[in-house]
């Protein structure tokens, strides 16, 4: 019988927690900006502003998600909450879908933004036409459908975490607590023995 050493962690790194809640705030801003734009209508002078805000916040969400993945890849993450292998698998699939959908929404959003700028001068260059009207309509529909799926999975992810925390005793929400994050201390004087540090576990 051989033994394997596995690296894991007790808690999320403080920067990971910070970026998690920053992502939540950005997503709320994305939805709010789009809702305001739709409420004002295309005839409003503020419509373009709120749609641009929607796009910028989307790209910021993508950037923050990439940075969080880098932090997670270095410091690892606690094991997903679940009472059995099936529940753990559900948690892993949810996380993978959330990151994947954010990436798709960011890419399709950039594609649509560039397509809408076709023929206009940006930084001294004329933006070429990248999508014809039919392709733009298809990408816009896909963007909308994926966004709806993302919102559904995000709510399911939150409900799952709350269920694990309050009914299964897995303290899922405590690992994402913003109290006493110590982000400045982490950057200026990282502690190798902190709770989020990597821990070696022997497995048979």
Domain of 43, CATH number, reads 1.20.950
In a domain? residue 82:
yes
Q: Which residues in the chain show pLDDT less than 50?
A: 1-7, 199-204
Question: How many domains in the chain?
Answer: 1
Angle between helices 133-166 and 85-116 (to 10 degrees): 150
Residue 6: other Cβ atoms inside 10 A:
10
pLDDT tens per residue, range 56-74: 999 999 999 999 989 888 8
Task: Give residue 171's pLDDT.
Answer: 64
In a domain? residue 204:
no
Task: Give residue 5's pLDDT.
Answer: 41
CB of 72 closer than 8 Å to CB of 176: no
CB of 59 closer than 8 Å to CB of 106: yes
In a domain? residue 65:
yes
In a domain? residue 71:
yes
In a domain? residue 39:
yes
For residue 157, what are the contacts with CB-CB under 8 A and spacing of at least 6? 94, 95, 98
Whole-model pTM: value is: 0.79
Residue range of the domain that includes 125: 4-198
Reference 175, options 8, 10, 7; nearest CA is: 10
In a domain? residue 203:
no
Task: Give residue 200's pLDDT.
Answer: 47
The neighbouring-strand residues paired with 126 are: 121
Task: Give residue 115's pLDDT.
Answer: 86
């Amino acid at each position: 019988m051989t033994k394997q050493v596995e690296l894991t962690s007790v808690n999320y790194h403080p920067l990971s927690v910070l970026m998690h809640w920053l992502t939540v705030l950005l997503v709320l801003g994305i939805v709010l900006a789009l809702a305001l734009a739709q409420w004002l209508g295309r005839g409003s002078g503020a419509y373009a502003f709120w749609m641009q805000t929607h796009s910028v916040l989307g790209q910021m969400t993508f950037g923050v998600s990439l940075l969080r993945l880098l932090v997670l890849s270095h410091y690892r993450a606690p094991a997903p909450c679940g009472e059995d292998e099936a529940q753990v698998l559900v948690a892993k699939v949810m996380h993978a879908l959330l990151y994947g959908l954010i990436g798709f929404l960011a890419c399709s959003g950039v594609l649509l933004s560039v397509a809408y700028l076709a023929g206009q001068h940006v930084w001294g260059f004329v933006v070429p036409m990248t999508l014809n009207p039919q392709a733009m309509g298809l990408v816009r529909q896909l963007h909308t459908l994926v966004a709806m799926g993302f919102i559904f999975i995000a709510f399911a992810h939150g409900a799952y975490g709350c269920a694990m925390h309050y009914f299964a005793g897995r303290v899922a929400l405590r690992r994402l607590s913003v109290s006493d994050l110590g982000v400045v201390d982490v950057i200026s004087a990282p502690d190798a023995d902190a709770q989020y540090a990597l821990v070696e576990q022997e497995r048979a």
